[in-house]
Amino acid sequence: MADGDRFERRLCGKGWPKAYRLAAGGASIELVGDVIMTAVAAGLRGPLNCPSLPGMRDAVYDVLRRSIRVGQLDLMGRVSPDAYSSLVDTLTQLAGSQPTVSAQLAMQASLSVYLELHATDRSLSANQVQARLSEAFVERLVRHQWLDRVHDGIMEGTGCSVTDQITWDARLFNNLAPHSRQMLQAFFRSSGLSVVRAPRRTVPRREMTIGDLHQGLPVLGS
């Protein structure tokens, strides 16, 4: 087995190996992103389904709303320990009802979104919380299922430095953010039923031409 294949063997689920091959081969962020969103959608319809995610969104929104209303922030903008503890308890119960990897990742994403938004000095809508949670949840899924397992392989394939790879990661998640929000809208509306479809591709599929057929196969060893 080729040396690079050891990274593919770490991947489980439809679409992830293809995303790795494209990324390691230097494909565009847009093309890699299209394949990743297809893989995420397939996972959420199957083993990565997370019915507790809408409830977690509601829990984050409720605590944020109550915190702003009653002023549960100190003068330094830090969150009340009581508010945070209450949210942790609620999220733990929701995650415990479906003790899966995706539920744990959803809980982590929910807490990170809460800590990010709690100091906002204005009212937040449920849709705003949902949008940010969609981004954070998909990012954690992608890191857990794919990026953390193939990071070194992508760097080997593209010959990039650690700094360049960190920049690439940031560009990738910036690309995925709007697609994550769009894809999970139906999921939240359906209260966690696995109604998930990948967004429309941003890079059109390349159709094979007559010229491609006439090129023939490469000669081994040439």
**Averaged confidence pLDDT in the chain:** 83
Residue 78 has pLDDT above 60, yes or no: no
How many other C-beta atoms can be found within 10 angstroms of the C-beta atom of residue 127? Answer: 13
State the pLDDT at residue 79.
56
Residue 184 has pLDDT above 70, yes or no: yes
CA angle, 43 then 20 then 208, to 5° = 95
* Structure-block tokens of residue 67: 């915190």
State the pLDDT at residue 208.
40
Domain ranges of the chain: 12-49+141-197, 53-135
- Taking residues 131-149, what's their average pLDDT? 96
Could you tell me which residue, 27 or 77, shows the higher pLDDT? 27
Element (H or E) spanning 222, and its range? none
Q: Say how many CA atoms lie within 13 Å of 116 toward its Cβ.
A: 12
* Structure-block tokens of residue 82: 């009581």
State the pLDDT at residue 200.
67
Could you tell me how far CA 66 lies from the centroid of its own chain? Answer: 28
Nearest alpha carbon to residue 23 among 8, 2, 6: 8
